[in-house]
């Protein structure tokens, strides 16, 4: 698991051109001059700075200094004073991606009463899928893995009725990326009509208050930074979607089939949680770069649970008891 996490982290740090874009570089984040909306995503860069401060200077230089022929640290900056924060970010990425995989695997086991082998197979499979996505669509930011980890945690808390834990994770996620609000849609879809009205509105109001407080504070603090509150890419996104339209329609149809297979047999909470993908797709078309798969990371955990479970059910039809996922 750690090896797969290292592979994913290495790919994320070395194949992430956005980390090298001046407007959204780590240096810009740390000195407060990153362009909007990137500057609003403050938690990960400052956590990386805090972790980097704990690394002894000599050790940081020895680990991080670029060496000829070795790609492991070629994402490190030339400035020695920035190498420790970059290493801190890499460590946070590693811990986050492992947390994402472990939480996803455990959630799969509890939802479908699966075996321990199935739990670890899902965890490993989620890292392999993520590594493939990063390799073929090398477009990302250093806060992507924390978004995945927090999304998996929030989804698990919603599915298993751990609402205080969900609210805590939601508060952290609001300082990681503004798309945390998508989970409020999942909360409403899962719990409307299932909680006492007063309790439902209490948690909904708390989420809106937490989100509004974080966003107002961030937007006021960074109001003079260049850029815009929201990136707008639909003028480029729509022509991209129209190119090779047949291939994209076939892919989308296959994905819909893979998610909806045996729909009625899936837990009701999981089916309702998928509602959050509707507003997310609108955001994807409006504000994501053409083909920017990482813009969908907030909904990756719920999609992965459907895809892994349906891969088991389809394989059971073709090859009964075909592997560890099929157990339980």
How buried is residue 169: exposed, middle or buried, by Cβ count under 10 Å (0-12/13-18/19+)? Answer: buried
**What SS3 state is found at 297?**
helix
What is the pLDDT, as a whole number, of residue 17?
60
Structural domain including 188 reads 2-326
As a whole number of angstroms, the distance between CA 316 and CA 323 comes to 9
Distance (Å) of CA 241 to CA 34, 74, 110, 235, 285: 29, 33, 37, 11, 9
Q: How many domains does the chain have?
A: 1
pLDDT at 19 over 80: no
Task: Over range 223-247, report the average pLDDT.
Answer: 88
pLDDT at 241 over 80: yes
Weakest mean pLDDT among 156-160, 191-195, 242-246, 304-308:
242-246
What is the pLDDT, as a whole number, of residue 69?
45
As a whole number of angstroms, the distance between CA 240 and CA 242 comes to 5
How buried is residue 164: exposed, middle or buried, by Cβ count under 10 Å (0-12/13-18/19+)? Answer: exposed
pTM given for the model: 0.90
What are the tens digits of pLDDT across the range 35-83?
A: 999 999 999 988 988 888 887 766 656 665 555 444 445 566 666 677 7
pLDDT at 166 over 90: yes
What is the pLDDT, as a whole number, of residue 291?
82
Tallying the residues shown for the chain, one arrives at: 328
């Amino acid at each position: 698991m750690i090896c797969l996490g290292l592979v994913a982290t290495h790919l994320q740090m070395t194949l992430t051109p956005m980390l090298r874009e001046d407007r959204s570089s780590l240096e810009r984040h740390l000195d407060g001059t990153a362009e909007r909306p990137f500057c609003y995503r403050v938690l990960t860069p400052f956590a990386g700075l805090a972790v980097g401060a704990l690394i002894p200077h000599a050790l940081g230089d020895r680990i991080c200094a670029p060496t000829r022929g070795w790609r492991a640290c070629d994402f490190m900056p030339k400035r020695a004073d920035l190498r420790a924060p970059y290493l801190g970010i890499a460590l946070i990425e590693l811990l986050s991606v492992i947390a994402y995989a472990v939480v996803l695997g455990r959630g799969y086991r509890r939802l479908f009463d699966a075996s321990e082998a199935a739990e670890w197979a899902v965890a490993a499979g989620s890292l392999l899928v993520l590594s493939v996505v990063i390799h073929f669509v090398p477009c990302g930011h250093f806060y992507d893995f924390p978004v995945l980890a927090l999304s998996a945690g929030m989804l698990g808390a919603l599915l298993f009725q751990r609402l205080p834990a969900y609210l805590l994770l939601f508060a952290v996620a609001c300082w990681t990326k503004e798309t945390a609000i998508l989970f409020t849609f999942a909360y409403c879809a899962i719990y409307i009509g299932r909680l006492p009205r007063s309790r439902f509105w209490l948690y909904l109001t708390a989420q809106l208050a937490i989100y509004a407080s974080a966003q107002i504070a961030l937007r006021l603090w960074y109001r003079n930074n260049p850029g815009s509150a929201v990136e707008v890419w639909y003028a480029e996104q729509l022509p991209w979607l129209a190119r090779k339209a047949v291939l994209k329609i076939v892919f989308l149809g296959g994905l819909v089939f893979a998610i909806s297979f045996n729909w009625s047999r899936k837990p009701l909470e999981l089916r309702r949680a998928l509602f959050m993908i509707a507003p997310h797709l609108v955001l994807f078309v409006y504000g994501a770069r053409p083909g920017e798969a990482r813009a969908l990371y907030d909904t990756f955990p719920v999609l992965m649970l459907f895809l892994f479970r349906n891969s088991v059910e389809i394989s059971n039809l073709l090859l009964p008891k075909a592997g560890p996922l099929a157990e339980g």
